[in-house]
C-alpha cells in the first residue's frame, strides 16, 4: 500500500461497534491520515460513545469535533450525535442539523459524499453492519472519485442490510471480513 491516502471514513449502525473497536485497534501507531467515524445513534439521549471508543485500548486521540474545526492528520473524529458531519473544501468540518437521511442523523451518505468531493482518490471509506441502506450512495461517490470503498461481508455482519445494500448498489467495492478490513487498515501507512 502507498502513502496516497489522507482520510479513512468508517460508517456503521446496528451491530457495528465491536467491529469499529477492532478497526481502531488496527490503526498503525504512527498513522498519518484523518479518521472519521459515523455511527447511527439515538438522538436526544445522553451518549457515552466517545468515552467507550476512546477507552478501547487504542491510545489514539478521539473526539467529537466542533463546527468549523480544521481537520488534522493523525486524529480520529466521531460524528456528533444528532448532527450530519460534512467535510468542506479547505478541510474544515461542518456540522449540519438538516433533515435525517434514511432516518439517520448523522448520515453516513452525507459524510461519505462530502469526503469524496474533498479527498477524491486519497479517501478510503468503510461501511459496516446496519439495518438500513445509509452509506450505499456515499460509497458510490467515493468510488466515482477514485477512492477505495470497502464493505463488511454481510455474512459476518450482525445486521447485513446495510452492507448488502452497498454491494447491490456498487460494483466497485471490496467485500471483506472484519479481520481483512483490519489488515487493510494496518497497511495504510506503508
40 is catalytic: yes
From the candidates 16, 34, 40, 129, give the one annotated as an active-site residue: 40
CB 9 within 8 A of CB 150: no
Grid coordinates of 116: 469524496
- How many whole angstroms separate alpha carbon 16 and alpha carbon 18? 6
CB 93 within 8 A of CB 114: no
Domains and CATH numbers, the chain: 7-186 (3.40.50.180)
Model confidence pTM above 0.75: yes
Under 8 Å CB-to-CB from 29, ≥6 apart: which residues? 59
From the candidates 13, 16, 114, 129, give the one annotated as an active-site residue: 13
With cell 471509506, the residue in question is 125
pLDDT tens string for the chain (190 positions)? Answer: 446 899 999 999 999 989 998 898 888 878 889 999 999 976 665 555 555 565 555 566 788 999 999 999 988 999 999 999 999 999 999 999 999 898 899 999 999 999 999 999 999 999 999 999 999 999 999 999 999 999 999 999 999 999 999 999 988 899 999 999 999 998 887 6
From the candidates 102, 107, 114, 134, give the one annotated as an active-site residue: 134
Residue 175 pairs with which residues in a beta bridge?
Answer: 151
Amino acid at each position: 500500500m502507498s502513502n496516497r491516502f489522507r482520510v479513512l471514513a468508517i460508517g456503521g449502525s446496528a451491530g457495528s461497534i465491536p467491529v469499529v473497536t477492532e478497526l481502531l485497534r488496527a490503526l498503525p501507531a504512527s498513522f498519518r491520515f484523518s479518521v472519521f467515524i459515523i455511527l447511527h445513534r439515538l438522538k436526544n439521549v445522553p451518549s457515552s460513545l466517545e468515552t467507550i471508543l476512546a477507552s478501547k485500548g487504542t491510545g489514539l486521540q478521539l473526539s467529537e469535533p466542533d463546527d468549523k474545526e480544521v481537520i488534522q492528520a493523525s486524529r480520529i473524529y466521531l460524528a456528533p450525535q444528532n448532527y450530519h458531519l460534512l467535510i468542506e473544501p479547505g478541510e474544515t468540518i461542518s456540522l449540519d442539523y438538516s433533515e435525517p437521511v434514511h432516518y439517520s442523523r448523522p448520515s453516513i451518505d452525507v459524510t461519505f459524499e462530502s469526503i469524496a468531493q474533498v479527498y477524491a482518490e486519497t479517501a478510503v471509506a468503510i461501511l459496516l453492519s446496519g439495518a438500513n441502506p445509509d452509506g450505499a450512495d456515499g460509497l458510490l461517490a467515493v468510488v466515482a472519485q477514485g477512492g477505495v470503498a470497502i464493505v463488511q461481508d454481510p455474512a459476518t455482519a450482525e445486521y447485513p442490510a446495510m452492507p448488502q445494500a452497498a454491494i447491490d448498489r456498487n460494483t466497485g467495492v471490496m467485500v471483506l471480513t472484519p479481520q481483512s478490513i483490519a489488515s487493510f487498515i494496518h497497511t495504510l501507512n506503508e
